[in-house]
A and B are shown apart, each in its own frame.
Chain A
Amino acid sequence: MATKTELSVSVGTPAEEAGLKPFKVTLNIRRYNPETGDEAFWQDFDVELYATDRVLDALHKIKWEQDGSLAFRRSCAHGVCGSDAMRINGRNRLACKTLIKDLDITQPIYVEAIKGLPLEKDLIVDMEPFFESFREVQPFLVSNTPPAGGRERLQSIAERERFDDTTKCILCAACTTSCPVFWTDGQYFGPAAIVNAHRFIFDSRDENAAARLEILNDKEGVWRCRTTFNCTDACPRGIQVTKAIAEVKAAVVRGRP
């Protein structure tokens, strides 16, 4: 632990203070610059990292110390905002939740933008098609009846439990952009939209489940899911995405949640 130091003394990172030795890691990053009009290409960077560092720290080091033109999104840096989903060694992960020690660093770490959405620059994609599908499933509580006694809408623990898993979504798009059906023509609503529909379809306070089920009973809705389980594997929040989709399928067949 860092002891109290005078302000003038420069304090290292906790790893440095603990006397840990950094090691060299190679990152292979897929770069793309729309302004040159050139094709995307792979570029490798060597960075000194600690085992406790994350891929996001490596990207920061590259951007701050080696190449300031590297473009990527991040905001919270702690797995809450969902802005830094990327393909790390071929799997969709949040850069801020992927520890270097969990990767095989005897080989370069491959980092590229998530697939299936239009690439804007380096690791940044246009998320608009993703959010468009999200908005289409009406991801908000709809109720036309006033709450009992004009107070809050009560819900039992069991009723809340029903959709607990899908409330955890941070809209990072890791699931949708890991889905091979979404990659083909981008018409499929995608796992994230279905997860967020699930969150309201099974909410006992909501009264618009029928409309959402109708929206997802589309040719591009739940029926395009092939239960590949890529989405469940990709979700940084551990949401059982494929299970949620299966529950929505069953609800569409029943015609009610």
Chain B
Amino acid sequence: MSTVIENPRSPYTRPARKKRRFNIEKWAWLFMRGSGVILVFLIFGHLFFNLMLGEGIRAIDFGFVGGKLANPFWQWWDVLMLWLALIHGGNGMRTVINDYVTGQKLRPFILWTLFAIVAILIVLGTLVTFTFDPCPITENIELLPSFCNA
């Protein structure tokens, strides 16, 4: 018969806060404020141009998008929007994960997955925006949109 009676006064121990010499939190916080303001301008500009100006929403088709992506102004606009939105959203997700995932192994795993998704989307998006060609040189003429005169 040996039951261990724990000392009722045994102090609660919380894992000690790790001392870090450098952390990105301040810069992440400032980035969220700055990118948020710029994104409001970029996104509403984007929506206004695509949905309101000219024929409005009915103008959007493959040719409309192809035309926009041929213009360096819209290329940079879209790339800026892509980068800021993904990093802004990714950082928001990072804080949510830090707040809600407490598992010591699970948290880094989810954070790296998130990082990988954001990185892949940024690379692919940037690549497409700058290299998009609505009329590529191809054998199958019938696959090309009508406005490409071969």
Contact = CB atoms under 8 A, between A and B. Distances in A.
A252 interface: yes
Interface string A210-245: 000000011111011010000000000000000000
A187 B30 contact: no
Contact of A223 (B8, B14, B28, B102): B28
B100 interface: yes
A106 interface: no
A126 B29 CA distance: 32
Interface in B84-99: 95, 98-99
B102 A185 contact: yes
A253 interface: yes
A220 B17 contact: yes
Contact of A129 (B12, B28, B99, B100): B12
B29 A249 contact: yes
Contact of A128 (B12, B23, B102): B12
Contacts of B100: 184
Interface string B132-147: 0000000000000000
Contacts of B28: 223
Contacts of A118: 12
A34 interface: yes
B29 A181 contact: no
A226 B11 CA distance: 30
Which of B17, B95, B100: most chain A CB closer than 10 A? B17
A186 interface: yes
Contacts of A224: 25, 98-99
A228 to B, nearest CB: 11
Contacts of B30: 253
Given A184-B100, A184-B102, A218-B17, A126 B12 contact: yes
A249 B20 CA distance: 18
B1 to A, nearest CB: 17
A129 B14 contact: yes
Given A184-B100, A220-B17, A253 B26 contact: yes
Contacts of A186: 14
A93 to B, nearest CB: 24
A226 B12 contact: no
Contacts of A132: 14
Cβ-closest 4 pairs across A and B: A223-B25, A118-B12, A219-B23, A126-B12
Interface of A: 34-35, 118, 126, 128-129, 132, 180-181, 184-187, 217-221, 223-224, 226, 249, 252-253
